[in-house]
Amino acid sequence: MLRKEQNDLLTLTGPGTPGGRLFRSYWMPALLADELPENDCPPVRVKILSERLIAFRDTEGRYGLMDEFCAHRGASLWFGRNEEGGLRCAYHGWKYDVTGQCVEVPSEPENGSFCANVKLRSYPLVKVGDILWTYMGDPAKQPELPEYEFVHVPSEQTYTSKRWQECNWLQALEGGIDSSHVSFLHSGALNNDPLFKGAKGNQYNLGDLKPFFEVADIEGGLLVGARRNAEEGKYYWRITPWVLPNFTMVPPRGDHPVHGHLWVPIDDENCWVYTFDYHPVRPLTGDERQAMKDGFGVHSENIPGTYRPAANKDNDYLMDREAQRRNEHFSGVRGIAMQDASLQESMGPIVDRSKERLVPADSGIIKARQKLRKAAIALRDEGVTPPGVDTAHHRVRSAAVILPMEEGFLDSVRDAVSVKPGVPQASV
Ligand code: FES
Ligand SMILES: [Fe+2]
Is the model's pLDDT at 161 over the cut of 80? yes
**Residue 179 pLDDT greater than 80, yes or no:** no
Q: Looking at the DSSP assignment, which residues form a beta bridge with residue 217?
A: 222
pLDDT-derived band at 234 (thresholds 50, 70, 90) equals very high
| Residue 380 φ then ψ, to 5° | -65, -45
Residue 276's alpha-carbon distances to 129, 259, 356, 404, in angstroms, are 11, 5, 30, 31
Is the pLDDT at 349 greater than 80? The verdict is yes
Q: State how far the Cα of 277 lies from the Cα of 253, in Å rounded to an integer.
A: 12
Query: Rounded to the nearest 5 degrees, what angle is found at the Cα of 414, between the Cα atoms of 411 and 178?
Result: 95
Measured by CA distance, the residue closest to atom 3 of ligand 1 is 92
Confidence of residue 286 (pLDDT cuts 50, 70, 90): very high
- Whether residue 210 has pLDDT greater than 90: no
Work out which ligand 1 atom sits closest to the CA atom of 94.
Answer: 3
Question: What average pLDDT does the segment 64-77 reach?
Answer: 98
96 lines ligand 1 (CB under 6 A): no
Question: 81 CB less than 6 Å from ligand 1?
Answer: no
- CB distance 219 to 387 below 8 Å: yes
Res 112 pLDDT > 90: no
Pairing outcome for strands 86-88 and 81-83: antiparallel
- Mean pLDDT taken over the chain: 95
The percentage of the chain sitting over the pLDDT mark of 70, rounded to a whole number, equals 100
AA letter at 203: Q
pLDDT at 306: 97
What's the pLDDT score for residue 141?
97
The whole-number pLDDT of residue 190 equals 77
CB 59, CB 39: distance < 8 Å? yes
Q: What is the pLDDT of residue 189?
A: 78
Q: Is the dihedral of CA 265, 355, 220, 259 positive or negative?
A: negative
pLDDT tops 90 at residue 412: no
- Mean pLDDT of the region 309-331: 94
pLDDT value at residue 115? 92
On whether the CB atoms of residues 421 and 395 are closer than 8 A, the answer is: no
Across the range 252-263, mean pLDDT stands at 96
Q: Which of 87, 89, 96 maximizes ligand 1 atoms within 8 Å of its Cβ, making it the mutation to test the pocket?
A: 89
| CA 100 – CA 64 distance, rounded (Å) | 8
Q: Find the mean pLDDT for residues 353-358.
A: 95
Environment of ion ligand 2 (residues, CB < 5 A): 340
Largest CA distance in the chain: 85
If pLDDT is split at 50, 70 and 90, which confidence band does 193 have? confident
Around Cβ 302, how many Cβ atoms within 10 Å?
18
* pLDDT recorded at residue 332: 93
Q: Which of 72, 96, 102 to mutate to test the pocket of ligand 1 (most atoms within 8 A of CB)?
A: 72
Q: pLDDT tens digits for 29-60?
A: 999 999 999 999 999 999 999 999 999 999 99
Residue nearest to atom 4 of ligand 1 (CA): 92
Amino acid identity of residue 94, one-letter, is: W
| Cα of 138 from ligand 1 centre, angstroms | 28
Instruction: Answer yes or no: are the C-beta atoms of 350 and 11 closer than 8 Å.
Output: yes
DSSP structural state of residue 189: H
What's residue 164's pLDDT? 98
Ligand 1 centroid, distance to 59 Cα (angstroms): 21
Tally: H helices and E strands in the chain: 12, 19
Identify which has the larger pLDDT, 290 or 192. Answer: 290
3-state class (DSSP) for residue 6: helix
| Ligand 2 centroid, distance to 395 Cα (angstroms) | 23
Per-residue pLDDT tens for 3-27? 999 999 999 999 999 999 999 999 9
Query: Counting ligands in written order, which one lies closest to the CA of residue 105?
Result: 1
The pLDDT of 178-195, averaged and rounded, is: 84
Backbone φ and ψ of 236, nearest 5°: -100, 120
Looking at residues 155-184, what average pLDDT do you find?
94
* Ligand of minimum distance to the alpha carbon of 108: 1
Query: Is 90 exceeded by the pLDDT of residue 205?
Result: no
Q: With a cut of 90, say whether residue 328 has pLDDT above it.
A: no
The Cα 416–Cα 122 span in angstroms is 40
Atom from ligand 1 closest to the CA of residue 75: 1
Question: Is-contact 145 391, C-beta < 8 A?
Answer: yes
At residue 425, what is the residue type? Answer: Q
Ranges 125-139, 167-181, 400-414, most confident:
125-139
Q: What's the whole-number mean pLDDT along residues 110-126?
A: 91
Least confident stretch, 354-358, 359-363, 380-384: 359-363
Of the bound ligands, which one is closest to the alpha carbon of residue 89?
1
Q: Is it the case that residue 408 has pLDDT exceeding 90?
A: no
pLDDT digits (tens, 9 = 90+) for 370-407: 999 999 999 999 999 999 999 999 999 999 999 999 98
Q: Show the 3-state SS of 303-347.
A: CCCCCCECCCHHHHHHCCHHHHHCCCCCCCCCCHHHHHHHHHHHC
Query: H or E segment at 287?
Result: helix 286-293
Q: How far apart are CA 48 and CA 266, in angstroms?
A: 4
From edge to edge, which strands make up the β-sheet containing 86-88?
Answer: 81-83, 86-88, 95-96, 102-104
Q: What long-range pairs does 280-287 form, CB within 8 A, spacing at least 24?
A: 280/149, 280/153, 280/157, 280/397, 280/419, 280/421, 280/422, 280/423, 280/424, 280/425, 281/157, 281/422, 281/423, 281/424, 282/157, 283/154, 283/156, 283/157, 284/156, 284/157, 284/158, 284/159, 284/257, 287/194
Strands laid side by side in the 125-128 sheet: 27-32, 131-135, 125-128
